[in-house]
Amino acid sequence: MATTNAPRYSRHAALLGAAAAVLLLGGCGGAAQHRTASAGERSAGPSAGTGTGAAKVPEATTFTTVRGAPEDAAPAAGADGEGGTDGTVVHPTGPAPVFDRPGGRRIATLPATQLGGPTWVPVVETSGEWRRVLLPSRPNRASGWLAGTGLRTARTPYTVRVEVAKRQLTLLKSGRRAGRWTVAVGGAKTPTPAGRTFIMASVLPGKKTPSPLVLPLGTHSATLDTFGGGPGTVALHGWPDASVFGKAVTHGCVRVPADALKALSRVPLGSPVLITA
């Protein structure tokens, strides 16, 4: 298992079309829809993970549901600021089987890329050569086990903490505060979901959108199956109207000021994000 000491994967951003960016920004502006399945979602049935072939399990992406995925055992870990991990993140060099326990039942395949960029996920538990990681799929707090082979490993010094009640985002580097900002969060009917997640991707919209950069997280709206035609992915992003900061007005995303977005753009993919109520 290769180890990368300096995580230089941090600033990779996929240049996506305006339509894709709008799907991701739909959680904070634009039409929200209650549906029985997210747009583009592919779910695995109860017996779908019993085989070993990749065709019998879903890919673990923001568009899918991974049934049978063990729930994160410590979603509030790191409430003191560290994100409950030692900063280890891993990147599969190819499609990686995901299991419900070390050597157990295969439940998904973790692809090498997410939204046009490399897949990096945080390690929340280790057992021998096995790594338990957070997944970008529904249900929220889904996790899974990866074998140690075929993984690149790095460490991120960053943790992002979002305190919904205070409407505040804090960026920590090596346990020390690197910045704190007042932000906008989800409204009462479409709250920003609490729990431990991570920065899944870094998206540079191909055309003008409300934010020059979108940072999708590995979590989804808990009350909306889709917004704007997208999968209900929650993201960190900017917003042109500063009057929203300090308010609960979004469909679940976290809108941040321009200087916060600039600081967050330097945070490596896979870095833990702890959202507390």
Residues classed as catalytic: 237, 253
For residue 136, the tally of other CB atoms under 10 A from its CB is: 29
**Which residues lie across from 98 on neighbouring strands?**
108
Round the CA-based radius of gyration of the chain to a whole number and report it: 17
Cα separation of 160 and 237, whole Å? 13
Classify strands 14-16 and 32-33 as parallel, antiparallel or unpaired: unpaired
Phi, psi of 50 (to 5 degrees): -80, -25
CB 264 within 8 A of CB 3: no
Query: 187 burial class (0-12, 13-18, 19+ CB within 10 angstroms)?
Result: middle
Taking CA 46 as the corner, what is the angle to CA 40 and CA 51, rounded to the nearest 5 degrees?
Answer: 95
